[in-house]
Structure 1
Amino acid sequence: MADGDRRLRALVIEDDPDAANFARLALTRLAGMDVELARDADEAVAALEQRSFDVVVSDIELPGLSGLAILPRLRELAPGIPVVILTAHGVVSYAVEALRRDADEFLVKPVPPADLARRVDEVAREGLARRARARETVLAVGAHPDDIEIGVGATLAAHAAAGDETVILTLSGGAVGGEVDARHEEALAAAGVIGARLVHLDFADTHLDPASGLITAIEEVVADVDPQRVYTHSTHDRHQDHRAVHQAVEVATRTVPGVWCFQSPSATVDFRPNRFIDVEGFVETKLRMLAAYASQSHRDYMAPDLVRATARYWSRFMTAREAEPLETVRAAELIGSPAVLTELSGVHT
């Protein structure tokens, strides 16, 4: 089993019912995998948007887009997940095109069930090992429930999709903006959308002070999770709690290689980002995180059209269609997950 007792998960893209059932049985019975079937590119994309997989097995000849044509989209939705191209067309040009488009393996039908199960299992485990070596721990620190999701929700979703461990530290219960227990449950639900760990503390809303235990509390979480990247509030913000968290994080994360500040609805015109994260494909995940905050849905900045428009606006500084902006506090050149590499390649100053 992978990751302790977890079964490997495979997505098989195959429009022929018999071929799909053959692959499902081979991978389920001989490799012990959990297998989901998709008949075409649209079903595959829908599955990848909702669930995570350890390997994708795709036929070439599919209705609509071919198995090769959808490879770029698969890579975008599931960065780092290996792809096995399986086809009856044993033509050299297909193999060359598959490798050019970054497929991990090319198998020609008919493939004996044991051989298919063995090779797909090997490719899946090789992918797991690569992602484990590249995996980072990312910590996002916010003053109130929903601050982090508004600022870097899509960025965290991209990290999670790349296999990074994501931790959300929220320092107050948000009592001024709603009922504390309800907001805690909303924060748990939002973190659950991307499988993030939530650390929710109970400092007094609107009275956060770096000198009143805030620094120590953040230091304890940093020591516990050992992050390589931290995202938090900017000092260019009208809200006193946001500024206090920024000051506390600067001290508490002094040993962390990378620290960046996100934009809040209360940010001032002095917020001047110099890094822009490519979050194309992850804004809808961010909206699902924000939708968990039902008690805050009346606020203008939670409106889906504004969230989408904001991501589209910031993309003007890079080549992606959607982006989230960051101010740099500290930036060591880290080599890591695809989400991180996308960020580094998409930096504009």
Structure 2
Amino acid sequence: MTTPYHVLVVEDDPDVAEFVKLVLIKRAGMVVQMANNANLAFELLQQHEFDALITDIEMPGASGLDLVARVRQLRPQLPIVVMTAHASVDYAVTALRHAADEFLTKPIASAYLAARMTALAERGRADRIAAAGQVILAIGAHPDDVEIGVGGLLAAHRAGGDSIVILTMSRGDRGGDPNDRQHESLASADLLDARLFLEDLVDTKIGPADPTVSIIERVVAEVAPSIVYTHSSHDRHQDHRAVHQATTVATRRVPTVACYQSPSATVDYQPNRFVPIDGFTDAKMALLACFASQSDVRAYLEPDFVLATARYWSRFGGGRSCEPLEVIRDTSGIGQVGTPSRRVAAPLPGLV
């Protein structure tokens, strides 16, 4: 399910504003924000992300064309439609010279309005996502799972301009106070500037079907990731195996899915990609240091253990430190960190 497009409508006539709003909501299924003047509209554009903008030309104070000129400086790629009751060549030429994408004259047929705004909003969202880099979703059964498995790689993605999302299926109450572990998860996500989804499934009793699958599907639909990292099936912990199974079902349309190594991984864990994290080991250690409630009771969180593990895997992937992955699907390119103009200086992963 695609997240509804978010559109800003700028119109000072209440009747026209209500018509446009209803058409976009009822016919196009959009989320609509309203503004009755250009200044309010510009404030909203500074505070929120929109997929498209539609504005009247003639309004009290600043005109719609004034608004378009300001928006082009703030959001160069945002699709803009201008509308007016005065159908004239001069108005259309002026609007297009102000870099509007389309000029509409009132009255506007509802079907045409819905179709054009849908097409423009689709383009606007695609451009915005491309400009922002990839969305990376890391899924773990418990707090600290993803940081142990791919903490260095997530830090590299973030440095390259990618957006990081962490989905943790339980609060890990079998391993400590769930409130402490929640705060630790939030602190780690904050270091990564990541969005955190912290669910409350029962620790040690997570299942491979619903509600686990539905939770992952909901997050995937909301954030639209291009790469997903999750647990391997080769793991002694039942929660890890269950999350792996649920993820493979719920992410079937995600271009790239790969499995990281957990401390409970078995000897059957067979990575086929080794991603160098040189330059990001300190960032990984800072993430793991957030989980203070675990560091005294989990030997695998000891710094020398973590660093030695990364050093070992570098024998296959180059550099001095690597994180291993079992790649089960890859069409977008693990290791291609950030948009082309913002690649970090991390070597591309090697294949064996």
- TM-score of Structure 1 vs Structure 2, range by shorter chain: 0.5 to 0.7
Equivalent in the alignment of 1:325: 324
The alignment partner of 2:205 has SS state of coil
User: Which of 323-332 and 132-141 deviates more?
Assistant: 132-141
Quote the Cα distance in structure 2 between the aligned partners of 1:342 and 1:250: 31
Instruction: Check conservation: 2:189, 2:195, Cα contact below 8 A.
Output: yes
The alignment partner of 2:156 has SS state of helix
1:215 to 207, 213, 216: 213
Q: Counterpart of 1:245 in structure 2: which amino acid?
A: V
Alignment of 1:227-238 (within 5 A): 227-238=225-236
Instruction: Check conservation: 1:258, 1:330, Cα contact below 8 A.
Output: yes
Equivalent in the alignment of 1:272: 270
The alignment partner of 1:141 has SS state of strand
Equivalent in the alignment of 1:311: 310
Structure 1 unpaired stretches of 5+: 7-128
In structure 2, relative to structure 1, the CA distance for the partners of 1:130 and 1:203 (3 Å cut) is closer
The alignment partner of 1:212 has SS state of coil
Shift of the alpha carbon at 1:278? 1.4
Count of residue pairs the alignment pairs up: 224
Alignment of 1:245-256 (within 5 A): 245-256=243-254
Q: Describe the superposition over 1:66-123 as per-residue Cα deviations: whole angstroms up to 9, x where unpaired.
A: xxxxxxxxxxxxxxxxxxxxxxxxxxxxxxxxxxxxxxxxxxxxxxxxxxxxxxxxxx
Quote the Cα distance in structure 1 between the aligned partners of 2:346 and 2:273: 8
Q: Counterpart of 1:277 in structure 2: which amino acid?
A: V
Structure 2 unpaired stretches of 5+: 1-44, 48-126
Shift of the alpha carbon at 1:134? 6.8
Quote the Cα distance in structure 2 between the aligned partners of 1:239 and 1:280: 29
User: Which of 148-157 and 205-214 deviates more?
Assistant: 205-214
| Aligned CA-pair RMSD | 2.3
Q: Counterpart of 2:259 in structure 1: which amino acid?
A: C
Quote the Cα distance in structure 2 between the aligned partners of 1:267 and 1:160: 26
Alignment of 1:1-349 (within 5 A): 133=131, 135-298=133-296, 299-334=298-333, 337=338, 345-349=348-352
The alignment partner of 2:165 has SS state of strand
In structure 2, relative to structure 1, the CA distance for the partners of 1:260 and 1:289 (3 Å cut) is same
The alignment partner of 1:271 has SS state of coil
Instruction: Check conservation: 1:229, 1:256, Cα contact below 8 A.
Output: yes
The alignment partner of 2:200 has SS state of strand
Quote the Cα distance in structure 1 between the aligned partners of 2:184 and 2:194: 13
Shift of the alpha carbon at 1:336? 5.7
Shift of the alpha carbon at 1:196? 0.8
Shift of the alpha carbon at 1:223? 0.2
The alignment partner of 1:307 has SS state of helix
The alignment partner of 2:351 has SS state of coil
Quote the Cα distance in structure 1 between the aligned partners of 2:143 and 2:337: 28
Quote the Cα distance in structure 2 between the aligned partners of 1:228 and 1:342: 21
Identity %: 53
Quote the Cα distance in structure 2 between the aligned partners of 1:277 and 1:162: 15
Instruction: Check conservation: 2:168, 2:199, Cα contact below 8 A.
Output: yes
TM-score, normalised relative to structure 1: 0.61
Quote the Cα distance in structure 1 between the aligned partners of 2:248 and 2:191: 28
Quote the Cα distance in structure 2 between the aligned partners of 1:154 and 1:231: 13
In structure 2, relative to structure 1, the CA distance for the partners of 1:256 and 1:130 (3 Å cut) is closer
Quote the Cα distance in structure 2 between the aligned partners of 1:250 and 1:342: 31
Instruction: Check conservation: 2:157, 2:337, Cα contact below 8 A.
Output: no
Q: Counterpart of 2:231 in structure 1: which amino acid?
A: H
In structure 2, relative to structure 1, the CA distance for the partners of 1:326 and 1:184 (3 Å cut) is same
Quote the Cα distance in structure 1 between the aligned partners of 2:185 and 2:271: 26
Equivalent in the alignment of 1:87: none
Instruction: Check conservation: 2:149, 2:261, Cα contact below 8 A.
Output: yes
Shift of the alpha carbon at 1:256? 0.0
Quote the Cα distance in structure 1 between the aligned partners of 2:269 and 2:345: 22
Quote the Cα distance in structure 2 between the aligned partners of 1:344 and 1:309: 20
Quote the Cα distance in structure 2 between the aligned partners of 1:271 and 1:225: 29
Q: Counterpart of 1:239 in structure 2: which amino acid?
A: H
The alignment partner of 1:301 has SS state of helix
Shift of the alpha carbon at 1:348? 1.9
Structure possessing the higher radius of gyration over alpha carbons: 2
Quote the Cα distance in structure 2 between the aligned partners of 1:166 and 1:277: 17
Quote the Cα distance in structure 2 between the aligned partners of 1:136 and 1:186: 25
Quote the Cα distance in structure 2 between the aligned partners of 1:343 and 1:143: 28
In structure 2, relative to structure 1, the CA distance for the partners of 1:182 and 1:336 (3 Å cut) is closer
Instruction: Check conservation: 1:187, 1:293, Cα contact below 8 A.
Output: yes
Instruction: Check conservation: 1:278, 1:342, Cα contact below 8 A.
Output: no
